[in-house]
Amino acid sequence: MSRKRRQNPADAINTWALVRHLFSREQHHLQHIEKLEQSLSNAGRRNHEERSSYNSLHRLYDKLYRAHTALSAENQRLKHELAVLQCHHCHEQHQTPNIEGARVEELK
């Protein structure tokens, strides 16, 4: 013979309390997941902005480096040109005939 087990009312309350507790925990976890997703989205946005800034700075650095290299080469070229001109000037000073001395000789 089958006997029906009567459910204790206190057990039913505990079951509903557990169900409410599970729903509450699930809601808390869903809120936590939403916050984590927002944080991840913000981190992705910041990462994109930082990468864009880095790429921009890298392009600017390359441009400045090329300009510096060109200016340095031009500086070296001008230094060499100046040294050559100084050498020619110095050489011309030593080879120029002494015109005043020649006139004095002519007058004698």
Band of pLDDT at residue 6, cut at 50, 70 and 90: low
| Average pLDDT score over the chain | 86
Whether the full predicted model's pTM is greater than 0.85, yes or no, is no
At 8 the pLDDT is 66
**Phi then psi for 8, rounded to 5 degrees?**
-75, 130
At 51 the pLDDT is 97
Average pLDDT over residues 62-70: 98
Distances (CA, A) of 27 to 14, 31, 54, 85, 89: 20, 6, 40, 86, 91
The answer, yes or no, to whether residue 104 has pLDDT greater than 70, is no
Average pLDDT over residues 68-97: 89
Q: How many CB atoms lie within 10 A of CB 36?
A: 10
